[in-house]
């Protein structure tokens, strides 16, 4: 086996050899088909095509990886939370595979450094980190199958980050909490965009949250949805004591 690996390693280019070693360190096992992993880091702006003339980028692998993450995490929760009903299990899975969490995982592994793109990395939003993490999971499934895919998710997601007791108290959406509280308290609320411009080539949205005609919080982000969530988080901390009394 070692002789075979040496033969294959000699046939690789220096660039492929460096990529192979980097991916192996991240995975914890050797990849077999390196081309699948190259695809997992190829952005659509690279305009790459496969031998059949199909677009070659990470978007389809991202879809597959999302499904594999949900499957593995669902099985884990089913086993570890035997008293949890369907609603509980769904909520817990959403917390584990939230976009925010996946973005953190992608950043921790520095996956963006491997992206092949014609667009500067600093022009991407935060979600690219989570997207790449999902595409990597999809690549593992295609390359090594479910067993290795599960092994990777257990190592990189479950073992270091999943604490069921802690996750039970984790907020998924501050905006949902604010809306629910306002509806219960019969308060009038609305989110308004007060800024929409581009800074250094990156579009930014400014959103303000008003409750009973009083501006409670403002926030800026690369999308309206993110800005609303940030403003909601700030409003939550401003009203936390009142909200937790209910």
Instruction: Please state the length of the chain.
Output: 246
User: At residue 3, does pLDDT exceed 60?
Assistant: no
Catalytic residue list:
66, 134
CATH topology of domain 174-245: Double Stranded RNA Binding Domain (3.30.160)
Closest CA to 223 of 169, 171, 167, 175: 175
What Rg do the C-alpha atoms of the chain give, in angstroms? 22
User: At residue 84, does pLDDT exceed 90?
Assistant: no
131 known ligand binder: yes
Task: Look at residue 5 in the predicted model and tell me its pLDDT.
Answer: 42
User: What does the mean pLDDT of the chain come to?
Assistant: 87
Other C-beta atoms lying within 10 Å of the C-beta of residue 131: 26
Q: Would you kindly state where each structural domain of the chain is located, as residue ranges?
A: 2-168, 174-245
What is the C-alpha separation between 95 and 69, in angstroms, rounded? 12
Residue in the structure block whose two tokens are 């088909």: 33
User: At residue 149, does pLDDT exceed 50?
Assistant: yes
User: At residue 122, does pLDDT exceed 80?
Assistant: no
Sequence-distant (6+) residues with CB within 8 A of 210 are: 189, 190, 191, 192, 216
What is the C-alpha separation between 156 and 162, in angstroms, rounded? 10
180 known ligand binder: no
197 known ligand binder: no
What is the C-alpha separation between 161 and 90, in angstroms, rounded? 18
- In this prediction the pTM is 0.68
Q: Specify the CATH number for 2-168; select among 3.30.1280.10, 2.60.40.10, 1.10.1520.10, 3.40.50.300.
A: 1.10.1520.10
Q: What is the pLDDT of residues 8-50, one digit of tens each?
A: 444 567 778 899 999 999 999 999 999 999 999 999 888 888 8
């Amino acid at each position: 086996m070692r002789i075979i690996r040496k033969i294959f390693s000699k046939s690789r280019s220096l660039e492929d050899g460096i990529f192979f070693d980097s991916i192996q360190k991240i995975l914890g096992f050797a990849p077999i088909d390196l081309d699948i992993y190259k695809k997992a880091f190829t952005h659509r702006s690279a305009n790459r095509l496969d031998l059949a003339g199909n677009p070659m980028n990470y978007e389809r692998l991202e879809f597959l990886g999302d499904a594999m993450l949900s499957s593995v995490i669902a099985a884990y929760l089913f086993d570890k939370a035997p008293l949890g009903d369907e609603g509980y299990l769904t909520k817990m899975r959403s917390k584990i595979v939230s976009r925010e969490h996946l973005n953190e995982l992608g950043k921790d592994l520095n996956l963006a450094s491997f992206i092949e793109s014609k667009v500067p990395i600093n022009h991407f939003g935060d979600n690219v980190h989570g997207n790449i993490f999902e595409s990597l999971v999809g690549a593992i499934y295609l390359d090594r199958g479910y067993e290795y895919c599960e092994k990777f998710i257990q190592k990189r997601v479950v073992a270091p980050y999943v604490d069921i007791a802690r996750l039970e108290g984790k907020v998924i959406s501050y905006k949902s909490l604010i809306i629910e509280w306002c509806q219960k308290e019969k308060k009038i609320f609305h989110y308004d965009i007060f800024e929409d411009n581009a800074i250094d080539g990156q579009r930014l949205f400014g959103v303000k949250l008003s409750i009973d005609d009083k501006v409670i919080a403002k926030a800026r982000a690369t999308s309206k949805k993110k800005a609303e969530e940030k403003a909601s988080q700030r409003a939550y901390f401003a009203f936390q004591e009142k909200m937790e009394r209910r």
